[in-house]
């Protein structure tokens, strides 16, 4: 079973979003797990993301005091970071096809892929009845 990135960051409150962004930035900055070669042509995206994270951190910490202008700036930065996170999540999903361990090292919230829905008791009983009927019919004709 594989993993998926939960895109819950789209509607997170500011403090939880700040925590998630800091965790993802720290995880993705680990050069042993995500070298520059991992980012291929997306190094500029990653660097812009890190710059926005630093600015968001400063504005978030100052906006706690209740300054309305800083709160508006923080919300605008959060919208920009959501766009960056979407692009990074897509890149990680593509990379995870060949390297599934990328997900666990990414810092994103993850969920496991679920199996298909199980059959209900009624479906199982009907299948058992059909199978026993077929076995009973086959047994009488083969003698």
> Considering the chain, what percentage of its residues have pLDDT values greater than 90?
44
Closest C-alpha among 95, 82, 108, 97 to residue 35: 95
Closest C-alpha among 31, 3, 23 to residue 95: 3
Residue 29 sits at the vertex; the CA angle it makes with 23 and 33, to the nearest 5 degrees, is: 105
The CA distances from residue 31 to 26, 35, 54, 91, 121, in Å, are 10, 5, 18, 17, 51
Highest mean pLDDT pick, 60-69, 82-91, 114-123: 82-91
Q: What is the mean pLDDT of residues 62-72?
A: 87
Q: What is the mean pLDDT of the chain?
A: 83
Compute the distance between CA of residue 72 and CA of residue 31 in angstroms, rounded to an integer: 33
pLDDT digits (tens, 9 = 90+) for 86-96: 999 999 998 88
Residue 103: what pLDDT? 85
Q: Looking at the predicted structure, is the pLDDT value of residue 28 above 90? A: yes
Closest C-alpha among 16, 22, 3, 15 to residue 102: 3
Q: What is the mean pLDDT of residues 11-35?
A: 93
Q: Looking at the predicted structure, is the pLDDT value of residue 104 above 90? A: no
Q: What is the mean pLDDT of residues 68-82?
A: 93
Q: Taking the complete model, does pTM exceed 0.85, yes or no? A: no
Question: Three-state DSSP class for 99?
Answer: coil
- The domain segmentation of the chain, as residue ranges, is 3-141
Residue 143: what pLDDT? 45
Q: Looking at the predicted structure, is the pLDDT value of residue 97 above 50? A: yes
First to last CA, the chain: 47
DSSP 34: S
Q: Looking at the predicted structure, is the pLDDT value of residue 130 above 60? A: no
Q: Looking at the predicted structure, is the pLDDT value of residue 26 above 90? A: yes
């Amino acid at each position: 079973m594989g993993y998926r990135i939960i895109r819950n960051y789209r509607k997170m409150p500011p403090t939880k979003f700040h925590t998630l962004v800091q965790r993802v930035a720290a995880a993705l900055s680990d050069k042993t797990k995500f070298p520059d070669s991992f980012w291929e042509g997306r190094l500029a995206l990653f660097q812009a993301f890190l710059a926005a994270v630093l600015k968001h951190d400063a504005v978030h910490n100052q906006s706690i005091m209740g300054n309305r202008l800083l709160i508006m700036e923080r919300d605008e930065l959060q919208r920009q970071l959501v766009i960056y996170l979407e692009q990074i999540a897509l890149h990680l999903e593509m990379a995870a096809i060949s390297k599934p361990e990328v997900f666990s090292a990414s810092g994103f919230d993850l969920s496991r892929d679920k199996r298909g829905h199980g059959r209900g008791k009624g479906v199982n009983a009907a299948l058992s009845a059909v199978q026993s009927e077929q076995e009973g019919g086959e047994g009488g004709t083969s003698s």
